[in-house]
Amino acid sequence: MGRPHLTSITFSNKETFVCIGLHEGDPTWKKSHSLWPWGSCEKLVPSETPFDPREWIERTRNLYNWSEEYGRFDSSSWELVANEEMWQARMKTAFFIFDLAETARVSTDVKAQLYTYSYKLYREIVSTHKVHPVNWHKNYAIACERMLHLQPEREDPELLLSEAIKHFLLYTEKAADEPQQGSILQAVKHLKKELQGLRQMKKGGETFQQSTK
């Protein structure tokens, strides 16, 4: 007689939330369930459940009531770890949706929608919280960069380029131990060229319009 699966015993017909993680020694839940972000935790959801990003964003938007300022605790205190975890939880939905856009086998249109939802969430949390975890800069910059590749355009490319450059540079300034500093700075150099070319093209178009009046 085979050993019963963890999911068949524990999760049937119940809403289940995971706040520290599932036991790595029993991966059977992965065959039938997925983990969706739920504040600082995750919700265990049957794999066949369709994911609606707009609905999930609305359901999880008001789960965060953490009021401690970021960076206020001493680096040697346990409070620092707890505070960091709670702050990182603010971007879990944005990260989850971005990861879906990167990895899920979906149509081009659905992929574009996922990238757009993720980008807007990142933009919202980065602009709302002036002091925040350093990795938010990198994640937001990457989200901006992905948006540049969408056709048709969904956001102003000049804004996306400017934001990507700004936040990649902020990240490299604050994350001195980042092993990919060189690659990021090389990407920034490329983005600056793209931005310069875009502005020159816009300027040329404006000059042409004025000359035809």
For residue range 165-178, list pLDDT tens digits in order.
999 999 999 998 99
Q: Which domain holds residue 24?
A: 11-49
Q: How many separate domains does the chain show?
A: 2
Residue 4 is assigned to a structural domain of this protein: no
Whether residue 1 lies inside any domain: the answer is no
> Do 31 and 63 share a structural domain?
no
201 contact partners, CB below 8 Å, separation of at least 6: none
Q: Residue 103: inside a domain, yes or no?
A: yes
Same domain, 131 and 45: no
**Domain annotation covers residue 75:** yes
Q: Are residues 28 and 97 in the same domain?
A: no
Looking at the structure, tell me whether residues 30 and 89 fall in a common domain.
no
Beta strands 41-46; 16-18: pairing state: antiparallel
Q: Is residue 114 over pLDDT 50?
A: yes
Residues 61 and 16 in one domain: no
CA dist., res. 138 & res. 165, Å (int): 10
Mind listing the pLDDT tens digit for each residue in 162-211? 999 999 999 999 998 999 999 999 999 999 999 999 999 888 765 545 55
Of 78, 63, 77, 71, the C-alpha closest to 19 is 63
- pLDDT per position as a tens digit, 44-90: 899 899 999 999 999 988 887 788 999 889 888 889 988 998 999 99
Query: Bridge partners of 18?
Result: 42
Assess whether pLDDT exceeds 50 at residue 3. no
Please check whether residue 36 lies inside any domain of the structure: yes
Which pTM does this prediction carry? 0.86
pLDDT(147) > 60:
yes
> What CATH number is attached to the domain comprising 81?
1.25.40
Residues 24 and 101 in one domain: no
Q: Give the phi and the psi of residue 4 in degrees, each rounded to 5.
A: -65, 145
